[in-house]
Each structure stands twice: as structure tokens, then as C-alpha cells.
């Protein structure tokens, strides 16, 4: 087992009516003035927002609200939230929603604690984050795992750059997780969540650091649980068992547990971020679009790793190492297609792109030659171009 540091301090309250603990947990973690961040009207129509605010009213905790968070969360709204939080003397940020809402809440927490620094500077690494406000989460969408992760992704809606920031200041203090809050999700969002959860695990599983047996087993079992329960959830979004398994998988897939002892790859995420930034496509859909091309391109780097993936996750036992590994890639792409996830640019809805767009995205993905992408195989600009070209059909 390779050396590692594991830090996952988020308090999780899981199960029916978990959201009724919001005020209690805010007080426990020192919150006295709150900004509640949410997305569209579903939390209003469902009565969830009212149930949260009633708790705060009953406990005498003043609050302000900020709605309107969109998928691929916008920097402009986060900046607006910082301004609102500072004006209201906020000392706690509560996210009521999924990954985009949670990441926006994290950005607001960072900006409110550092009013002299524009928050985008943290994502571009021009400024170092040294303090933040506490964040709590009421989860309504199983996907990003942001409720337990150290990461947050923001899209600059002026430049269309989508950037991630990893820091332990992103760790929420608590996550209230009631699977029943996901019952009303559209099937497209459930599909995107299935892909995102699997990719958070696979981007850690395909690593250049091997020999971490227990970590591999945890990742492989999580993927099997997703493959089993994902189609059930799509068939019946009110199936508590399936939705609860998916919700817990989402949290474990991105709190670091499935990658202990290994280097994270996340090349597929980097490739997908450029699609989301340029075309404003759903995050999960961008990942399923890119994974098959990434896997086929990187397969020669370590065929045995793909073969282990095939044996342990997909139960493929017949054939050579190469045959099992390539079959595992095919099975994964077929699974994505079976749950309605796109696996090419055309299926994603952006169509076959002209050469100049592929060139532009390749440049942006590697920060114009300032970085390589991934660790399973470190991808340079030409590698990224080849993978985009493979998906461009």
C-alpha cells in the first residue's frame, strides 16, 4: 500500500428528513447569519426552501437568499453572492442543491472571507486561499460529490474558461442527505449524475501508482453498485433503495477514498471542462463524451489496468489481457449509451466541429502549453488534439 493522507472532515447526516437538521447543524458550527444559495425554482416549488427557512426563523438565525445558480456555475453570480454576503454580515453559507450550487456556495464563502481579493484569482492560482467561511449542504442531486469533496469548479462567463480549485477550505462542515429530495429530478440529470459519480472514481482508478489493493476494491465495488442501480433509478426515480445507493456512492466517489495511495488522473474532466466552457453542455454529458476516446487512446499505457477493470467491474474473464481490456472499454461506452449518455460530439448535441475549434480547445486544455493533462498518461497538446479528434464524430 502506498503512503497517503486521508482527510474527510464533513459530518454526514443521511436518510429520510435529514434536511430538518439544518438549523441545528448551522448553530453547532458557529453560524449566526446565513446566506442560502440555491438554483432554480424546484427547491421553492417543492417546499424545501420554506422548510429550511422556517427552521432558521424558529431558531432566530437571520438569513438572506441567493437563487439562480445554473449548471456550470457562473463566476458572475458567485461575485454577486459575495457582495450580498458581505453587505449582510454573513458568517455561514448554506447550499441547497447539487454540485453547481455547492461550488457556488464555496466560492461565495472564499470571497466573503477575503473581500480584498477577487475570487477568480483563487481559481487561476494568482492568489492563495488562506481562509474561508464555513459551508453546509442540503443535497438535492447525486452527482458531483461536492458535498464531501475538497474541490469546486467555476466557469468564467466572460472568457468561457472553466476551472477547478482543490483545497481543504472547500470541505463542507456538514452534508444533509435525504435521497427522497432527488425523486423529482429529470432523467437527464439522473443520467449525468450516474456518469459523474462513475468518472470521479475512474479518474482515480486509472492511475500510474499500483498495488493499492483495498483502494482498488473500494473503487471497483462502487462502480459495480452504480452499474446495478443506475438503470433502476432511471426506470423509477422514486426507488428509495436505488437513489440512496447512488447518493452515497456520489459522496464516496469524490471525498478521496477511492483513490488513496495513487495519483489522480482527471484527464477526462479536463477534456470535458473545455466542452462545458465553450458549449455550456452538462458536465456529466461532457465526461461520457470524452471517456471512450481517452480510454482507447491511453490503453497502450497499461493494458493490464484496463483488463483488471474488465475482470473486477464488468466480470469479463475470457480472452487475453488486451482483449479483456478493450472489451471493458467497449462495455463502459455501451453502458453510458444505455443510460442515455452521449459518447461523441454529435450525440452531445454540438455536432462535428471544424478543425479550428478542435485546435482552440486543445490549446486551452493544456493552458497554451503550460501544462500536461492527467497522470495515467501525461497528455501533451498533441495527445489532447488526437483525443478530441477521436470524439469529433
Secondary structure (DSSP) of 178-193: -GGGGTT--HHHHHHH
Considering the entire predicted model, what is its pTM?
0.95
Angle, vertex CA 343, rays to CA 338 and CA 344, nearest 5:
145
- C-alpha–C-alpha distance, residues 111 and 83, integer Å: 9
Domain with CATH 1.20.1090.10 in the chain: 187-391
Q: What is the CATH number of domain 187-391?
A: 1.20.1090.10
Helices marked H in 60-140: 75-87, 99-113, 120-123
Which residue do the cell numbers 491511453 mark?
Answer: 298
Could you give the strand order of the β-sheet that contains 11-14, starting from the edge strand earlier in sequence? Answer: 11-14, 174-177, 135-139, 92-97, 34-38, 63-66
- Per-residue pLDDT, 199: 98
Residue 63 bridge partners (DSSP)? 34
- Per-residue pLDDT, 40: 84
The helix or strand, by DSSP H or E, that contains position 248, with its residue range, turns out to be: helix 240-253
Q: Which of 231, 271, 222, 229 is nearest to 251 (CA)?
A: 222
pLDDT mean values, one per 10 residues, the chain (393 residues): 96 98 98 96 94 98 97 97 98 98 98 98 98 98 97 96 96 98 96 98 96 97 98 98 98 97 97 96 97 98 98 98 98 98 98 98 97 98 98 98
Cell of 299: 490503453
- C-alpha–C-alpha distance, residues 297 and 15, integer Å: 41
- C-alpha–C-alpha distance, residues 278 and 371, integer Å: 20
- C-alpha–C-alpha distance, residues 274 and 258, integer Å: 25
- Per-residue pLDDT, 326: 98
The helix or strand, by DSSP H or E, that contains position 38, with its residue range, turns out to be: strand 34-38
User: Which CA distances in Å does 357 have to 30, 276, 361?
Assistant: 49, 14, 6
Residues recorded for the chain: 393
Q: Work out the number of other CB atoms within 10 angstroms of the CB of residue 126.
A: 10
Cell of 351: 455536432
Q: Which of 263, 264, 261, 283 is nearest to 272 (CA)?
A: 283
- C-alpha–C-alpha distance, residues 24 and 41, integer Å: 25
- C-alpha–C-alpha distance, residues 359 and 350, integer Å: 16
- Per-residue pLDDT, 172: 98
Q: Which residues 6+ apart lie within 8 Å of 161 measured at CB?
A: 155, 277, 364
- Per-residue pLDDT, 41: 84
- Per-residue pLDDT, 257: 97
- C-alpha–C-alpha distance, residues 180 and 91, integer Å: 29
Q: Which CATH number fits domain 11-181: 3.40.50.450, 2.10.50.10, 3.40.50.1000, 3.40.50.1970?
A: 3.40.50.1970
- C-alpha–C-alpha distance, residues 110 and 115, integer Å: 9
Domain with CATH 3.40.50.1970 in the chain: 11-181
Asked whether the beta carbons of 259 and 3 are under 8 A apart, the reply is no
Q: Give the count of alpha carbons within 13 A of 303, CB side only.
A: 10
Amino acid at each position: 500500500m502506498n503512503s497517503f493522507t486521508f482527510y474527510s472532515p464533513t459530518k454526514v447526516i443521511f436518510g429520510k428528513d435529514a434536511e430538518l437538521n439544518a438549523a441545528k447543524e448551522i448553530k453547532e458550527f458557529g453560524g449566526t447569519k446565513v446566506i442560502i444559495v440555491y438554483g432554480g425554482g424546484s427547491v421553492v416549488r417543492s417546499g424545501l426552501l420554506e422548510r429550511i427557512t422556517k427552521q432558521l426563523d424558529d431558531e432566530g438565525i437571520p438569513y438572506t437568499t441567493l437563487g439562480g445558480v445554473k449548471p456550470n456555475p457562473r463566476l458572475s453570480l458567485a461575485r454577486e453572492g459575495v457582495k450580498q454576503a458581505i453587505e449582510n454580515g454573513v458568517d455561514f453559507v448554506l447550499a441547497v442543491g447539487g454540485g453547481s450550487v455547492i461550488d457556488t456556495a464555496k466560492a461565495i464563502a472564499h470571497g466573503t472571507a477575503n473581500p480584498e481579493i477577487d475570487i477568480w484569482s483563487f481559481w487561476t492560482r494568482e492568489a492563495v486561499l488562506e481562509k474561508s467561511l464555513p459551508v453546509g449542504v442540503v443535497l438535492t442531486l447525486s452527482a458531483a460529490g461536492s458535498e464531501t469533496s475538497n474541490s469546486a469548479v467555476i466557469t468564467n462567463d466572460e472568457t468561457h474558461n472553466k476551472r477547478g480549485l482543490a483545497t481543504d477550505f472547500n470541505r463542507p462542515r456538514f452534508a444533509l442527505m435525504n435521497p427522497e429530495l432527488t425523486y423529482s429530478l429529470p432523467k437527464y440529470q439522473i443520467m449525468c449524475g450516474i456518469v459523474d459519480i462513475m468518472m470521479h472514481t475512474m479518474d482515480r482508478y486509472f492511475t500510474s501508482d499500483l498495488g493499492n489493493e483495498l483502494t482498488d476494491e473500494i473503487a471497483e465495488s462502487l462502480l459495480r453498485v452504480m452499474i446495478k442501480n443506475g438503470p433502476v433509478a432511471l426506470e423509477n426515480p422514486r426507488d428509495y433503495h436505488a437513489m440512496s445507493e447512488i447518493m452515497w456512492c456520489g459522496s464516496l466517489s469524490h471525498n478521496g477514498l477511492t483513490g488513496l495511495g495513487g495519483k489522480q488522473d482527471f484527464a477526462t474532466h479536463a477534456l470535458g471542462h473545455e466542452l462545458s466552457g465553450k458549449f455550456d453542455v452538462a458536465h456529466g454529458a461532457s465526461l461520457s463524451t470524452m471517456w471512450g476516446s481517452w480510454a482507447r487512446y491511453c490503453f497502450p499505457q497499461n493494458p493490464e489496468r484496463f483488463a483488471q477493470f474488465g475482470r473486477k467491474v464488468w466480470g469479463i474473464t475470457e480472452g487475453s489481457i488486451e482483449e479483456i481490456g478493450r472489451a471493458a472499454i467497449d462495455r463502459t461506452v455501451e453502458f453510458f449509451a444505455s443510460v442515455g449518455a452521449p459518447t461523441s460530439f454529435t450525440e452531445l448535441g454540438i455536432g462535428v466541429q471544424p478543425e479550428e475549434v478542435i485546435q482552440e480547445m486543445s490549446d486551452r486544455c493544456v493552458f497554451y502549453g503550460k501544462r500536461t493533462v492527467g497522470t495515467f498518461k501525461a497528455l501533451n497538446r498533441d495527445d489532447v488534439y488526437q483525443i478530441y479528434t477521436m470524439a469529433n464524430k
